Amino acid sequence: MDQSIETLQPDHRVSHYRAMASEVQYLASEAQFNEVREQFLKLAQSWLSVADTMERHLIELEELPGASTRNWLNVA
């Protein structure tokens, strides 16, 4: 039985979203009709956007603890 995407670790979810984008891009390259190809490419862009957004969020979360430990009163 396949694992639900919600149970994956965040970094694995990002990889999964990028894999989905890659698969849909492949389907677009195989499409016989322009309308179908365009829809596949839009879907691929959506997967990439979700992956990029989640990846940025993960980077921000990793930087957050460092920012909270600064002594802001002594910053010139």
Give the model's pLDDT for residue 1.
Answer: 46
pLDDT at residue 75 tops 60: no
The domain in which residue 51 lies consists of 9-64
Q: Establish if 71 belongs to a structural domain.
A: no
Q: Establish if 69 belongs to a structural domain.
A: no
pLDDT in tens, 14-29: 999 999 999 999 999 9
Q: Establish if 19 belongs to a structural domain.
A: yes
DSSP string, 45-57: HHHHHHHHHHHHH
Q: Establish if 1 belongs to a structural domain.
A: no
Q: Establish if 72 belongs to a structural domain.
A: no
- Would you say the pTM of this structure is higher than 0.85? no
Q: Domains in the chain: how many in total?
A: 1
pLDDT in tens, 28-68: 999 999 999 999 999 999 999 999 999 988 888 875 444 44
69 or 2: whose pLDDT is higher? 2
Q: Establish if 56 belongs to a structural domain.
A: yes
- Position 25: which residue type? Q
